[in-house]
Amino acid sequence: FVRSCRRRFSCRSRGGEGVEFVGHQGPVYGVDVDAADQFAISSSQDTTVRLWRASGGKALVEYRGHSAPVWDVAFSPTSYYFATGSHDRMACIWTTDRPKPVRILAGHFADVEHVKWHPNGSLLATGSCDKTVRLWQLNTANQARLFVGHGSGVSAVAFSPNGRLCAVGEEGGAVVVWDIAESRRLHTLDSGAGHGGAGWCKVTSLAFSPDSATLFSATNCAAQAITSWDMHSAKGEEQAKVFQTKATPVVQLECLTEALVLAAGVFTAVPGAGNP
């Protein structure tokens, strides 16, 4: 699926056929697909969230509850619940069969730009420009954890598949890894230095390997690259490998296996660089 600054987004099947999803009245900021690949969900500047049939692009439901642009949306592991984060400083939990939110999560002091479900589906992480990440219980909507002390706004969030770690990317380039059970900071990784960056260097995406042993990070530094971090090293700061992406800013990472990472981005041609 491809997010868009237009009022539509698109997907391409494995066979190469593309489908466009048209209906939002503003730019589309968040897109996710359910576990069975049957439904897609999108969030927009128009303050709405929409559910679509993945094959064919038919609009099924329009959800309203936010009073400002909705930056992110994510299905839970069961695909019955989904979560949203908005410019109105709220995060909401919804069910696919109700047009209004079933939980409203209030507590952030700035935009909620990222929502991410824990692998067990009972916890939701929300990342905000207020430099905090909060973990919320699905059943009660109570705050279970508060991760503070980040140097800048939160730009990415990822859980390890074993459910023990939460990685937080910052707009300033750092990556902080938290132990969820103990609510303790384990590692602080200089992602900007790992990518050869200088100055402002935003973390754009994070992803753990399926065995939770390696964390991958991407930034929009001048030297575009993806860095892998060994979570088993003494300080978690050992760079296992750096993957150069030339002039391509990476916006999304996905680990398919321990040895295969999928990176998505927009290619930027560099004049005179012999771009393929």
Q: What is the per-residue pLDDT across 80-110, written as a single tens digit (0 to 9) for each?
A: 999 999 999 999 999 999 999 999 999 999 9
- What are the boundaries of each domain within the chain? 2-148
Q: What is the per-residue pLDDT across 233-276, written as a single tens digit (0 to 9) for each?
A: 765 555 667 887 777 778 889 998 877 888 888 766 655 555 44
For the chain, percent helix, then strand, then coil, each to nearest 5? 0, 50, 45
Residue among 22, 92, 31, 105 at smallest CA distance from 63: 92
Q: What are phi and psi of 269, to 5 degrees?
A: -70, 135
Residue among 64, 41, 44 at smallest CA distance from 54: 41
pLDDT for the residue 251: 86
Give the distance, in angstroms, between the CA of residue 97 and the centroid of all CA atoms in the same chain: 24
DSSP conformation class of 4: B
pTM: 0.87
Which CATH number applies to 2-148: 2.130.10.10, 3.30.565.10, 3.50.50.60, 3.30.70.60?
Answer: 2.130.10.10
Q: Which residues contact 269 (CB under 8 A, 6 or more apart)?
A: 247, 275
pLDDT at 5 over 50: no
Measured between alpha carbons, how far is 141 from 103 in angstroms, rounded to an integer? 6
Measured between alpha carbons, how far is 133 from 153 in angstroms, rounded to an integer? 10
